[in-house]
Amino acid sequence: MIMAIHKLNLEDFFEDVDYILIAIHSRLEDYRLAYYLNSHLNLSLTRRAQDIDYKYFSAAYSIFEWKDDANLITYNLVSNICKREEDSLQSSGSLFTNQEKIIKSYNLVPELKNVDYLMKITKEDLQITEQLIVNKIQQIPQVITTYTVNVDQIKSKDNLIFN
């Protein structure tokens, strides 16, 4: 009796990227950027009750979300930078001196360390004109620049899974 050999390909289990990722450079606070995005793109982004918390990074990132049920689109705005105050590892040799505090910066997507915010737009069939969205975001006066990111070049894609 001959047994058939079935070969599985890992690529069969991974779906194509069903979202677009937009990098936003802006010094605005997260809630103000969400407000401007809501007004310029006709969205209803609201802050999630809980931030994205990565224990192994010891960092938390604010996230805003809106599910457009009519068009089956989910919009996420997430901070890419988390700054935390930590104790300095340098010691002066004395037990009675105060530990110095330093500000450390962590990134949700380390490959995009200069990006302040990421906007992830998820839809089953991506019939969204990316350039139109980028142009509307660019019209916000406090936004320095914005552009789409090639998701295939990001190694830390798992950090972009928000559900």
Read off the pLDDT of residues 71-98 as tens digits, 9 standing for 90 and up.
889 999 999 998 887 776 665 555 555 6
DSSP three-state, residue 24: strand
Predicted local distance difference test score (pLDDT) of residue 46 = 94
* 160 or 31, which is more confident: 31
- Whether the CB-CB separation of 24 and 117 falls below 8 Å is answered with yes
Domain extents for the chain? 17-89+97-160
DSSP three-state, residue 38: helix
Residue 156 CB coordination number (10 Å): 12
Q: How far is CA 136 from CA 26, 42, 83, 105, 131, in A?
A: 14, 10, 28, 29, 9
Q: Which residues contact 149 (CB under 8 A, 6 or more apart)?
A: 21, 22, 23, 112, 118
**86 HSE (CA, 13 A, CB side):** 13
Predicted local distance difference test score (pLDDT) of residue 59 = 81
Torsion of CA 116, 153, 135, 38, to 10 degrees: -50
Predicted local distance difference test score (pLDDT) of residue 3 = 63
pLDDT tier, 24 (very low <50, low <70, confident <90, very high otherwise): very high
Predicted local distance difference test score (pLDDT) of residue 70 = 87
Any bridge partners for residue 104, and if so which? Answer: 84
Q: How far apart are CA 5 and CA 21, in angstroms?
A: 40
Q: Which residues contact 151 (CB under 8 A, 6 or more apart)?
A: 17, 19, 20, 21, 157, 160
Q: 17-89+97-160 maps to which CATH number?
A: 3.30.310
Give the relative orientation of helices 30-41 and 130-138 as an angle to the nearest 10 degrees.
Answer: 120
pLDDT at 23 over 90: yes
pTM score over 0.85: no
Predicted local distance difference test score (pLDDT) of residue 58 = 73
Read off the pLDDT of residues 30-63 as tens digits, 9 standing for 90 and up.
999 999 999 999 999 999 988 888 755 578 899 9
Q: How far apart are CA 19 and CA 111, in angstroms?
A: 18
